Amino acid sequence: MSDKPIAEVLNRRRFLGAAGLAGAGAMLPQLAQAEAPKPDPLITEVQDWSRYLGEGVDKRPYGMPSKYEKHIVRRDVSWLTASPESSVNFTPLHEIDGIITPSGLCFERHHGGVAEINPADHRLMINGLVDKPLVFTMDDIKRMPRVNRVYFLECAANSGMEWRGAQLNGCQFTHGMIHNVMYTGVPLKVLLNEAGLKPNVKWLMLEGADAAGMNRSLPIEKALDDVLIAFAMNGEALRPENGYPLRAVIPGWQGNLWVKWLRRIEAGDQPWQTREETSKYTDLMADGRSRKYTFVMDAKSVVTNPSPQAPLKFKGRNVLTGIAWSGRGTVKRVDVSLDGGRNWQTARLDGPVLDKSIVRFYVDFDWNGQELMIQSRAIDETGYVQPSKDELRKVRGVNSIYHNNGIQTWLVRPDGEAENVEIG
Ligand code: MTE
């Protein structure tokens, strides 16, 4: 920051004109030479919003973002899937900050479209190897002891298009199958205790009420550890697209297990070998064999700004930011490189650093217009270091779709535009 008193800085800026205000530092010397100072009408004229009364409190019973933020939306990639009902859209990571994803921007992934369920008609059944099969209404669930937790949900297919090289130009598309929200819900172990598990229970099967009837097998150790049955996100009811009125929250594990519109939990002594854990969500290795039940999402990070959808606009002072996460606990450190991994600096983490949650990192830096190769690398509390894409391919080959947590590189050109690239 300048040492000059604020009044003096403001006075100087007032004579710069609109472009000077928008362009701040970098444009300052050229402008001073090219044009005589012009008064800025945004300062000298009374604007409409100051002249006329605004809308009253009765106009927005449920608030929406400003009309000037209209471009900030989830987006899909039309060629990726055959139909929008069994598809995915992506969180605009380059347009959000902090650690919480606004509910309306959380990416959606569903296999049979959004189930629209009246909560009065919703039931959750617990059956199978239990002492007492039970059926809960939403009212029953809301009378059980509840907790609040912030967790990331990452689809196992996030960055799945990047296995064979740089594909999609924007962190929304390369990394946007993730969101991070605060859930309110009942620990699954509380519900299971009510039903009473038989001693030989090893697995549960979670089933959704959507047209896909999506179901997955979950090991009992995880179910009794930190799994929640959630009815709220970010303080309000789950959104329909995210599982209203009830979903499973499986912290740190791949998003496919987080069954939405949850209607049944069956207890058993072995996995169900469902479609989603045999033909899908398995990792095809170089030798043609498949890894199954790879639940945990390993540590990963991405620089969200600058990135292809968010180029650098100004020389001089800039803020680089991004997100990091780990399915094994907290993120301990994030390193950032501006020269393709030759030199690394430790980024500043800001905001809460929570278990199995996104953390926000920043590097405040000066840009002179030189070419940059921006990378970030997450290190979690277990000491696990996010691998380069080449290191990952050495172990996994290139046949995989899922679990790509390789280091992302953005090339920033002298004009500030950024591009998805790979360093060999
Ligand atoms: N649950 C049901 N019932 N049906 C689905 O299609 N999709 C799964 C999971 N739960 C799905 C589901 C997948 S693949 C993912 S990645 C997450 O939900 C996505 O959750 P979101 O839509 O809240 O982002």
Distance 243 CA to ligand 1 centre (A): 8
Helix (H) or strand (E) holding 232: strand 228-233
Interatomic CA distance for residues 124 and 264, integer angstroms: 5
Interatomic CA distance for residues 347 and 19, integer angstroms: 32
Per DSSP, helices labelled H in 88-147 are: 138-141
pLDDT at 261: 98
Pocket mutation for ligand 1, best pick of 80, 105, 111, 217 (most atoms within 8 Å of C-beta): 111
210 close to ligand 1 (CB < 6 Angstrom): yes
Interatomic CA distance for residues 248 and 104, integer angstroms: 19
Distance 259 CA to ligand 1 centre (A): 6
Interatomic CA distance for residues 192 and 223, integer angstroms: 9
Q: Rounded to 5 degrees, what angle do the CA atoms 333, 339, 341 make?
A: 50
pLDDT at 32: 46
pLDDT at 31: 46
Distance 377 CA to ligand 1 centre (A): 27
Nearest alpha-carbon partner for 296 in 393, 212, 384, 207: 384
Helix (H) or strand (E) holding 323: strand 316-325
pLDDT at 6: 36
> Residue-wise over 345-379: b if at least 16 C-beta within 10 A, else e?
eebebeeebbbbbbbbbbbeeebeeeebbbbbbbb
The answer for 98, left when phi > 0, alpha when psi is -120 to 50, beta otherwise, is: left
Distance 13 CA to ligand 1 centre (A): 50
pLDDT in tens, 180-210: 999 999 999 999 999 999 999 999 999 999 9
pLDDT at 37: 84
Cα 174 from chain centroid?
Answer: 11
110 close to ligand 1 (CB < 6 Angstrom): yes
% helix, strand, coil for the chain, step of 5: 20, 30, 50
Interatomic CA distance for residues 119 and 296, integer angstroms: 31
171 close to ligand 1 (CB < 6 Angstrom): no
332 close to ligand 1 (CB < 6 Angstrom): no
Burial label, 385 (beta-carbon count in 10 A; 0-12, 13-18, 19+): middle
Side chain identity, residue 229: I
Burial label, 30 (beta-carbon count in 10 A; 0-12, 13-18, 19+): exposed
Interatomic CA distance for residues 204 and 185, integer angstroms: 19
149 close to ligand 1 (CB < 6 Angstrom): no
Low-confidence ranges of the chain (pLDDT < 70): 1-35, 424
Helix (H) or strand (E) holding 361: strand 359-367
Residues pairing with 204 in the sheet: 218, 267
Taking CB atoms within 8 Å and a gap of at least 24, the contacts of 162-169 are 162/389, 162/404, 162/406, 163/393, 163/398, 163/399, 163/400, 163/401, 163/404, 164/398, 165/422, 166/409, 166/420, 166/421, 166/422, 167/420, 168/77, 168/420, 169/308, 169/309, 169/419, 169/420
Residue that the structure tokens 């650690």 belong to: 99
Pocket mutation for ligand 1, best pick of 86, 109, 153, 246 (most atoms within 8 Å of C-beta): 109
Interatomic CA distance for residues 89 and 100, integer angstroms: 18
pLDDT in tens, 212-262: 999 999 999 999 999 999 999 999 999 999 999 999 999 999 999 999 999
pLDDT at 307: 98
Atom of ligand 1 at shortest distance to CA of 108? 22
Alpha-carbon distance values, 107 to 1, 5, 130, 153, 250 (Å):
37, 45, 35, 10, 17
Interatomic CA distance for residues 371 and 363, integer angstroms: 17
Q: Rounded to 5 degrees, what angle do the CA atoms 252, 256, 257 make?
A: 65
Q: Phi and psi dihedrals of 300, rounded to 5?
A: -160, 160
pLDDT at 36: 78
Burial label, 206 (beta-carbon count in 10 A; 0-12, 13-18, 19+): buried
pLDDT at 338: 98
Closest CA to ligand 1's atom 10 = 259
Interatomic CA distance for residues 60 and 193, integer angstroms: 44
The answer for 236, left when phi > 0, alpha when psi is -120 to 50, beta otherwise, is: beta
Q: Are 101 and 151 in contact (CB under 8 A)?
A: no
